[in-house]
Amino acid sequence: MTAAPLQPGPHRLREMAGRMSWGIVAWVVGLAFFLPVLWMVLTAFKPESAAETWPPQFIFTPTLSEFRLVFSGMGPFLTHSVIATVGSTIVVVLLAVPASYALSVHPVKHWRDGLFFFISTKMLPIVAAIGPLYVIALHLHLLDSIWLLIILYTAMNLPLAIWMIRSFMLEVPGELLEAARLDGAGRIREITGVILPVISPGLVSTALICVIFAWNELFLALNLTVTNAATMPMFLISSVPQEGLYIAHLSAAATVASVPVILVGWIAQRSLVRGLSMGAIK
């Protein structure tokens, strides 16, 4: 007992070495996973002639020419993507907050069935209904319309949003709600005055996840839009020509399309983790 603290040397050293080797393994894994993204960005700065060489070039004179080409053609796609993503996310939050409230703080009758129903709609593969969706959109004159994408992306993200927001609401301390009620606050006041301020970080991470999924969605856009509502993923596809060299151009387009979400995700990674894991425990 008395001798142990006097000779910490070898033990400490071994611990440090262990920590270092774990760190090295983690760094190697992390870099390996990141490599394709890095390669995408590097290739985007190459002139087309330097992008398709063997061996691949790591040192080259960077150029912005491919980016210029990309920016010149993507205007409408970018606008559609922003409208569809922001629009659907706003509608999702507006619908999900009262729904989550009715499923957590003031549970309605059969709230379990309600919650299960929301989650179960997420289990149905949307691809299964693509033909009929096309026909419905055709009859409603919504084909190739940005409204259609907003409606569908809202439906796509709503179940996950309700699930997440509900678990954040369950975390709101009961005493706070009790105090608000004693002050004579109605339901609306209770939501806007007490609950929303407390769960606002959770709302942000929910909205972020909705933004990621809506921004990246391709299947519905590809099947149901042509030009008037074509989004960024479709812009990417259009950047692959039938012939000729295109690797640098493609990489530039892919970089531009991915970077907004990557940056937002990097900045908000802590709240992303929290948001995603909340559902697991509640």
- Restricting to residues 155-184, name those near other proteins by CB under 8 A: 155, 158-159, 162
Question: How far is 195 from 192, CA to CA, in rounded Å?
Answer: 6
Binders of other proteins among 258-277, rule CB under 8 A?
A: 258, 261-262, 265-266, 269, 272-274, 276-277
Figure out which of the listed residues 70, 74, 96, 142 binds other proteins, where binding follows CB under 8 A.
96
Does 47 bind other proteins (CB under 8 A)? Our answer is no
SS3 145: coil
Q: What is the closest distance, in whole angstroms, from the C-beta atom of residue 182 to other proteins in the complex?
A: 27
Question: How far is 204 from 59, CA to CA, in rounded Å?
Answer: 41
Q: What is the closest distance, in whole angstroms, from the C-beta atom of residue 215 to other proteins in the complex?
A: 7
Looking at the Cβ atoms of 3 and 280, the one nearer to other proteins is 280
CB atoms within 10 A of CB 132: 9
Does 70 bind other proteins (CB under 8 A)? Our answer is no
ω into 47 cis (within 30 of 0) = no
Figure out which of the listed residues 8, 30, 73, 173 binds other proteins, where binding follows CB under 8 A.
30
Does 13 bind other proteins (CB under 8 A)? Our answer is no
Does 5 bind other proteins (CB under 8 A)? Our answer is no
Question: How far is 34 from 178, CA to CA, in rounded Å?
Answer: 49
- The C-alpha angle with vertex 149 and arms to 210 and 225, in degrees rounded to 5, equals 135
Does 22 bind other proteins (CB under 8 A)? Our answer is yes
Figure out which of the listed residues 70, 74, 99, 199 binds other proteins, where binding follows CB under 8 A.
99
Q: Site for other proteins (CB under 8 A): how many residues? A: 90
User: Which residue, among 25, 57, 27, has the nearest Cα to 42 in the 3D structure?
Assistant: 57
Looking at the Cβ atoms of 126 and 204, the one nearer to other proteins is 126
Binders of other proteins among 204-243, rule CB under 8 A?
A: 212, 215-216, 218-219, 222-223, 232-233, 236-237, 240
Residue type, 282: K
User: Which residue, among 198, 169, 194, 200, has the nearest Cα to 182 in the 3D structure?
Assistant: 194
CB 185 within 8 A of CB 106: no
The binding track of 124-153 with respect to other proteins, each residue x by CB under 8 A or -, is: xxxxxxxxxxxxx--------------xx-
SS3 34: helix
